[in-house]
Amino acid sequence: MSLVHERTGRPVVITGGAGFVGANLAERLLQGGSEVLIFDNLSRAGVEKNLTWLKERHGSLLQVVVGDVRDGLAVREVVSGAAAVFHLAAQVAVTTSLTHPIEDFEVNARGTLNVLEAVRQQGTPPPLVFTSTNKVYGGLGDVMLEKVGARYTPASKEVAAHGIGEARQLDFHSPYGCSKGAADQYVLDYARTYGVPATVFRMSCIYGPRQFGTEDQGWVVHFLLRAVAGAPLTLYGDGMQVRDILFVEDLVEAFLAAHRNIGRIAGRAFNIGGGVANTTSLLELLRVLGELCGVQPTVTFSGWRPGDQRYYVSDVRAFGDAVGWAPQVGVREGLERLYRWVLAMQDRGQARPAATVSAP
């Protein structure tokens, strides 16, 4: 699918496009004939592999500009010719935000404001999709839970049936939650105040090929890397915490659907994840990984961390109703596909486990 048909010759700009999600989005757009400009500071380990992969496959259709969203001038330059903007660049780890809260704010909040200003200053502002996080809802400590098997289950039948909806009150917890939450609200306000055609995805756990994570982010692939290597890992909490996980191809479809329907969904935030059909606890996921690898990983436990959510599952009905989207890749299928990719990368010497692994 090409996104340049209305603004011929102008590229789709993906900030943070060298990362896992950005590389998968870029691949899909380039396959459809769109010109893509990736703007990335290359600070995340392993992302150079994604750029090499994209360049080898698509050549001159792909432009790469090395830069930082904290540099307002550089952001204006790359956005000035954009057909559409997918703003994915971010500081993504709660743990890092606790150690470096000012840097976290500068990247996530001020960086997003730089992008918004660059978009607003165009004669015809290009569509903008911004990736926020489920952490804007805080720890969800008021959601009553029951232990059922190896997972937490909501006592509320409504929450158990559908997950957490967008009507949930925002409750920022941790500097990361604050910085992403502030950015989230700025995007919505620029849509309302300035008419910027922008929407927000409050994302749950995304996983899939091209993910070169660290111990603080990208936990599904980290767990898999440790399991494949036969290495021990550490869970923070009791391992019964539940997440809905979304295969990256389904997220890319959501991005494209948002762009196609931006006129109807501008100014709205949507919870995006695997939904109630694609949930797993950490312990349940480890069992599946043990089945794939032929041996169960060795696990140790540590204390809960600030803002940890014992249960988070996205209610994806609002976005589905708005654009006709729904996840297509189930948990088992997605993990099997990721497992095959990890094995292929290890055969090429491109995937290694981190020293330790933490829960989300």
Q: What is the pLDDT of residues 122-152, one digit of tens each?
A: 999 999 999 999 999 998 999 999 999 999 9
Q: How far apart are CA 12 and CA 5, in angstroms?
A: 11
Q: How far apart are CA 3 and CA 24, in angstroms?
A: 15
Q: DSSP per residue over 151-190, as a string?
A: EEEESSHHHHHH-B-TTSPP---SHHHHHHHHHHHHHHHH
Dump pLDDT digits (tens) for 55-76: 999 999 999 999 999 999 999 9
Active-site residue list: 176
Mean pLDDT throughout 5-26? 86
The closest alpha carbon to 213, from 248, 174, 255, belongs to: 248
Are the CB atoms for 206 and 221 separated by under 8 Å?
no
Provide the pLDDT for residue 79: 97
Percent of the chain exceeding pLDDT 70 equals 93
Q: How far apart are CA 213 and CA 234, in angstroms?
A: 16
Q: Quick one: pLDDT band at residue 92, thresholds 50, 70, 90?
A: confident
Dump pLDDT digits (tens) for 301-323: 999 887 788 999 999 999 999 99
The closest alpha carbon to 153, from 284, 314, 281, belongs to: 281
Mean pLDDT throughout 14-42? 96
Residue 275, helix vs strand vs coil = coil
Strands 84-87 and 128-133: parallel
Q: Which residue did the predictor score with more confidence, 298 or 192?
A: 192
Query: How many other CB atoms are found less than 10 A from the CB of residue 313?
Result: 26
Provide the pLDDT for residue 305: 81
Query: Structure tokens of 78?
Result: 């790359």
Are the CB atoms for 280 and 331 separated by under 8 Å?
yes
